[in-house]
């Protein structure tokens, strides 16, 4: 990944580390897989947010439990790792490790702790905000991603990217200043502000996390194969899960879980199923993210992840009857405008990369004089 010069839909010519079964796919089969992974990402992310809001609406109140379920189902990721990841083991084992085991462990631990903190911020935000408002604020992660990528990953900061950052920031400001905010029942204005700040901070921290992961792949691990990325996803989630469990017991919230289950409005079975399916849908989203990275590019995966945030407010309108005020509609349209600016910039970069590759290919095939 190399900042803005990474094309959205163009794979690198080098396919070292791409699972062998994927190399044998026909064009239509590739598009089917891409479509399935887009569905996993958008559907998983929307469903997990809606289930998280449902947990709070029905009487759930444990922020650490809401944090825990975001990573607890990480063993699900072993399925694609065992099915596809090991097919690259031969090519990976032939090269020397890019760094020692202790540095890899240190990276996993540091990133895992950041993920746990980020998930906690998201949990607090969703507790005090409606699902639609929460998702609109999360869209600012694209703006934060552009800023962090500029400083950490040497990404270009063009006029279109700057336009995207300004528009997404303005969209978030509209949400923050909206006096007619649709907060969940019983949530005062002061808690709404806390939810807004926590969600905004979580979006910034998530964008920082993406840039740090990219930096780790490029500068430290110096590999970004299918199994390496999946293993990072698995082991950072393991660390984040351990941190969440420690937080659950250290905070004393574990003592309230039995009473929370008994007082859950939809019953105890619904309480358990809500937590289980929230955990599963978060990992379905993760499978979609990783799948798009290797079928297309990491940038395309990030773009679809941001696009999915526009689906959740619409789903919240249907599921929770969230109020869609004029300010919120305006914020959504501005966010989509910022998103379009970001995508168009990368479309321009796509064309540049394609031209450069065609010129390089032409020079290779030209007969010597």
Separation between Cα atoms, residue 127 and residue 57, nearest integer Å? 9
Angle at 98 between CA 93 and CA 100, to 5 degrees: 100
Domain boundaries along the sequence of the chain:
49-80+98-356
Angle at 272 between CA 270 and CA 274, to 5 degrees: 65
Q: Which long-range contacts (CB under 8 A, 24 or more apart) does 78-87 make?
A: 78/234, 80/230, 80/287, 80/290, 80/291, 81/227, 81/230, 81/231, 81/234, 84/19, 84/21, 84/22, 84/226, 85/19, 85/226, 85/227, 85/230, 85/231, 86/227, 87/19, 87/20, 87/21
Separation between Cα atoms, residue 37 and residue 287, nearest integer Å? 7
Q: Strand, coil or helix: what is 20?
A: helix
Residue 21 burial (10 A CB sphere; 0-12, 13-18, 19+): exposed
> CB neighbours of 284 closer than 8 A, spacing ≥ 6?
40, 43, 44, 47, 76
Q: Which of left, alpha, beta for 96 (phi over 0: left; psi -120 to 50: alpha)?
A: beta
For residue 46 the two structure tokens come to: 């929307």
Separation between Cα atoms, residue 283 and residue 221, nearest integer Å? 24
Residue 12's pLDDT is 43
User: Could you give phi then psi for residue 72, rounded to 5 degrees?
Assistant: -60, -25
Q: What is the separation, in whole angstroms, between the first and last Cα of the chain?
A: 36
User: Could you give phi then psi for residue 2, rounded to 5 degrees?
Assistant: -135, 50
Separation between Cα atoms, residue 196 and residue 307, nearest integer Å? 20
**HSE-CB for 213 with a 13 A CA cutoff:** 24
Q: How many CB atoms lie within 10 A of CB 158?
A: 15
Separation between Cα atoms, residue 63 and residue 55, nearest integer Å? 11
Rg of the chain's alpha carbons, rounded to an integer?
21
Residue 252's pLDDT is 94
Separation between Cα atoms, residue 68 and residue 201, nearest integer Å? 19
How would you write the pLDDT of the chain (369 residues) with one tens digit per residue? 334 344 444 444 434 445 555 556 666 777 788 888 889 988 998 899 999 999 999 999 999 999 999 999 999 888 878 876 554 444 444 444 556 888 899 999 999 999 999 999 999 999 999 888 888 888 788 788 878 888 887 777 788 878 877 887 887 777 766 655 667 777 888 898 999 999 999 999 988 988 888 788 778 877 767 778 788 889 999 999 999 999 999 999 999 999 999 999 999 999 999 999 999 999 998 888 877 766 766 666 767 777 776 677 777 777 777 677 777 788 778 878 887 887 787 678 767 877 877 777 677 666 655
Check: CB of residue 183 under 8 Å from CB of residue 191.
yes
> CB neighbours of 310 closer than 8 A, spacing ≥ 6?
135, 139, 332, 335, 336, 339
Check: CB of residue 248 under 8 Å from CB of residue 64.
yes
Residue 87's pLDDT is 46
- What pTM, to 2 d.p., does this model score? 0.81
Residue 25's pLDDT is 60
Check: CB of residue 1 under 8 Å from CB of residue 299.
yes
Residue 296: DSSP 8-state = S
Q: If you search the block for the tokens 């989509």, which residue do you land on?
A: 336
């Amino acid at each position: 990944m190399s900042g803005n010069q990474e094309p959205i839909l163009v794979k690198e010519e080098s396919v070292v580390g791409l699972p062998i079964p994927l190399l044998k796919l026909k064009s239509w089969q590739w598009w089917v897989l891409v479509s399935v992974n887009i569905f996993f990402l958008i559907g998983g992310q929307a469903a997990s947010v809606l289930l998280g809001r449902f947990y709070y609406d029905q009487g759930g109140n444990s922020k650490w439990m809401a944090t825990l379920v975001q990573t607890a189902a990480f063993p699900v990721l072993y399925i694609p790792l065992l099915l596809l990841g090991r097919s690259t083991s031969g090519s990976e084992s032939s090269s020397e490790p890019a760094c020692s085991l202790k540095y890899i462990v240190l990276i996993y631990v540091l990133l895992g702790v950041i993920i746990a903190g980020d998930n906690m911020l998201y949990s607090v935000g969703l507790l005090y905000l409606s699902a639609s408002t929460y998702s609109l604020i999360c869209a600012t992660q694209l703006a934060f991603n552009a800023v962090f990528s500029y400083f950490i990953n040497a990404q270009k900061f063009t006029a279109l990217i700057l336009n995207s950052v300004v528009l997404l920031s303005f969209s978030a400001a509209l949400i923050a200043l909206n006096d007619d905010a649709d907060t969940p029942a019983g949530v005062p204005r002061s808690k709404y502000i806390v939810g807004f700040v926590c969600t905004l901070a979580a979006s910034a921290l998530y964008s920082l996390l993406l840039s740090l992961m990219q930096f780790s792949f490029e500068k430290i691990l110096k590999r970004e194969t299918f199994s390496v990325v999946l293993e990072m996803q698995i082991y950072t989630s393991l660390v984040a899960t351990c941190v969440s469990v420690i937080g659950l017991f250290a905070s004393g919230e574990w003592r309230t879980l039995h009473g929370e289950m008994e007082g859950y409005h939809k019953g105890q079975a619904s309480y358990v199923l809500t937590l289980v399916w929230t955990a599963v849908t978060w990992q379905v989203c993760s499978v979609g993210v990783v799948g798009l990275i290797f079928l297309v590019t990491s940038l395309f995966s990030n773009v679809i992840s941001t696009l999915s945030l526009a689906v959740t407010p619409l789903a919240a309108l249907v599921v929770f009857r969230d109020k869609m005020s004029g300010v919120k509609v305006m914020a959504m349209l501005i966010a989509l405008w910022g998103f379009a600016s970001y995508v168009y910039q990368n479309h321009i970069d796509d064309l540049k990369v394609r031209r450069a590759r065609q010129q390089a290919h032409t020079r290779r095939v030209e007969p010597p004089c």
